[in-house]
Chains A and B, each alone.
Chain A
Amino acid sequence: MKILNVREITENIKEMCIEANHFLSEDMKCVLCNAAETEEAPLGRQILEQLQENMRIAGEDMIPICQDTGMAVVFLEVGQEVHFEGGSLEEAVHEGVRQGYTEGFLRKSVVKDPIFRENTKDNTPAVIHCEIVPGDRVKITVAPKGFGSENMSRIFMLKPADGIEGVKSAVLTAVREAGPNACPPMVVGVGIGGTFEKCALMAKKALTRPVNERSSIPYVREMEEELLHRINATGIGPGGLGGTTTALAVNIDTYPTHIAGLPVAVNICCHVNRHAFRIL
């Protein structure tokens, strides 16, 4: 058994909120850099170059990559041999977000009630997804999610008869409707199967997979590649102002589902696809 004080969770989450909002992961940087070289439209190329410059300034001046520093989505994979002490694990996560967003000069974008909309002023609460896994370690993923792209995300409860073509058409529909609103070039997270909430969660988590890593399931990998190609043929382009780079990657996860259903969730993320990982 491993004993972990929840103070460590708070401290790490605080640092990870700040890190994720100022520095993209290497795979994201790499794919953005390649896009700037391969984009065919002159205005598209100019925008992609500005995004590179934006990232450089963010890191050098410690100014967030995007002013929408997101609602903090936190995935916790907790080893079943870990025992937490020192207080509530959930409260420790919220406290990390509170400290990170306050001390890191990040924008407070969370309202207390979806109807009455009073700002909580410290970006809490986080959205926490906790999973119990074998072992004695805790893997933390902090993924601040901006709402320009979140608002363009969709769930489709397809019929089994719609099959793989139905799935592809659902993804393309979501991307076309998102267009310039979702700050393309986007990263497209897709969950197929499970239940209503399971496919949405898979789509969200798929966004945290490195963009240069394809699915290990052959037909899913093929679908990821085909969809990326077809999305980039739509012409939406960087900023939605036309071009050959509309998406940087399509990451798909699947799960067994019911005989009567084919749920598909499409979680769209802008080019500021932020996530920080740590293992304690």
Chain B
Amino acid sequence: MDKYINVPLSEEDATALRAGDYVYLTGTVYTARDAAHKRMQEALDKGEPLPLDMKNNVIYYMGPSPARPGRVIGSAGPTTASRMDKYAPSLLDLGLKGMIGKGKRTQEVRDAIVRNGAVYFAAVGGAGALLSRSIISSEVIAYDDLGTEAIRKLVVKNFPVIVVMDSNGSNLYETAIEKNNRT
């Protein structure tokens, strides 16, 4: 079913979401992909603070193309989430409530989603031009030297995503593919 939800995600909203829900997100999300996750993990290992508070926040696995002059952002679709699987459970345990990406996750990530009442959303891969229209502002808040891989604070309005993994442990990739399987 279609849902309109504010981000950061409240406990109630996060745990009420179910795999298969089509959700429009409005509010603030943060981008981070491979290099930013590696750096955040290094900070955690050294006991240093992270550049953003994970609590109730949503991370969008995305590195945009450069914005043309006068535009907010360039093309801005999701990247493959599995490359962040190594880092995601510790961020979820710190309060991260949602992740937006595409593709499969490990069992460790699924367990951490259930344990923390979190959610994994998929955005449509390869629809970066369309998705950029739901981004109202973009500002680099950390790791500027990483270029496209810097951490950005994005203000989004009705950003379209689909719940793939919910806090009950359901996984839309498995159920939807099985439902359509004709082999």
Contacts and interface: CB of A to CB of B under 8 A. Distances in A.
A47 B175 CA distance: 17
Give the contact-size bracket for chain A.
Answer: 35 or more
Interface in B130-183: 130, 132-133, 146-149, 160, 162, 164, 172-173, 175-183
Interface string B17-60: 00000100000000000010000000000000000000000000
A239 B81 CA distance: 13
Given A108-B148, A121-B147, A237-B176, A65 B128 contact: yes
B126 A183 contact: yes
A239 B102 contact: yes
Contacts of B125: 66, 148, 180, 183, 239, 270
A108 B144 CA distance: 14
B147 A67 contact: no
Contacts of A84: none
Given A57-B130, A119-B147, A105 B173 contact: no
B80 interface: yes
B104 A63 contact: no
A243 B66 CA distance: 33
Given A179-B173, A242-B180, A117 B75 contact: no
A183 B102 contact: yes
Interface stretch (A3-11, A218-226, A227-235, A248-256): A227-235
A127 interface: no
Contacts of B124: 47, 50-51, 54, 239
A105 B71 CA distance: 11
Contacts of A41: 176, 180
Given A63-B68, A67-B75, A105-B67, A234 B126 contact: no
A271 interface: yes
B74 A236 contact: no
Interface residues of B, number: 48
B29 to A, nearest CB: 15
A183 B128 CA distance: 12
A43 interface: yes
A69 B104 contact: no
Interface string A38-70: 001101100100110111011001111111110
B66 A105 contact: yes
A240 B148 contact: no
A172 B22 CA distance: 30
Contacts of B164: 241
B75 A65 contact: yes
A107 interface: yes
B75 A235 contact: no
A107 B130 contact: no
A105 B73 CA distance: 11
B126 A181 contact: no
Contacts of B133: 57
A64 B74 contact: yes
A64 B125 CA distance: 13
A7 to B, nearest CB: 26
Contact of B80 (A61, A107, A151): A151
20 contacts: A50-B127, A54-B124, A58-B75, A62-B68, A63-B68, A66-B77, A67-B128, A106-B66, A107-B63, A108-B148, A117-B35, A119-B147, A146-B126, A148-B125, A179-B177, A181-B102, A181-B104, A183-B102, A270-B126, A272-B126
Given A66-B77, A105-B67, A271-B126, 4 more contacts: A67-B65, A180-B173, A183-B126, A239-B124
Interface of A: 40-41, 43-44, 47, 50-51, 53-55, 57-58, 61-69, 105-109, 117, 119, 121, 146, 148, 151, 179-181, 183, 230, 233-237, 239-244, 270-272
